């Protein structure tokens, strides 16, 4: 029988040199707000709102991966995955477009 070895894992704070993000549009946090809106924060500290109400209520969303996000429970299952906003069903948003709109206008209204 082989002896048991303990492997070590490195968290980002333990890696030397520290990991540096080179693009400002990587999302670091997301939370839901009322009326199909999100609050997002990017790695450079930029913060703003994403308004998905008009987009999600459009008839063209029917039959797409975004349709289920009309349900508040499904919409609330949003998280950050590798610097992007993503839902449990796999739907995601383009972080670079979101960043550009929020940086210039403070919010991104998805249509």
| CATH code of the domain covering residue 75 | 3.30.2020.10
Cis peptide, bond prior to residue 22, ω within 30 of zero: no
What pLDDT does 13 receive?
A: 56
Flag whether pLDDT at 92 surpasses 90. Answer: yes
Q: Is residue 54 part of a domain?
A: yes
**Cα dist from 12 to 17, 19, 76, whole Å:** 10, 7, 27
Q: Which domain holds residue 59?
A: 23-109
**Cα dist from 22 to 12, 25, 28, 41, 74, whole Å:** 15, 9, 14, 16, 32
Q: Is residue 13 part of a domain?
A: no
pLDDT, tens digit, for every residue of 24-83? Answer: 899 999 999 999 999 999 999 999 999 999 999 999 999 999 999 999 999 999 999 999
């Amino acid at each position: 029988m082989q002896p048991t070895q303990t492997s070590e894992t490195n968290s980002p704070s333990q890696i030397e040199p520290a990991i540096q993000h080179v693009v400002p549009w990587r999302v670091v946090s997301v939370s839901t707000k009322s009326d199909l809106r999100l609050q997002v924060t990017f790695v450079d500290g930029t913060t703003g709102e994403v308004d998905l109400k008009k987009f999600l209520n459009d008839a063209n969303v029917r039959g797409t991966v975004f349709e289920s996000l009309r349900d508040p429970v499904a919409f609330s299952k949003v998280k950050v995955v590798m610097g992007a906003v993503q839902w449990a069903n796999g739907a995601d948003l383009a972080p670079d477009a979101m960043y550009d709109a929020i940086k210039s206008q403070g919010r991104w209204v998805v249509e």
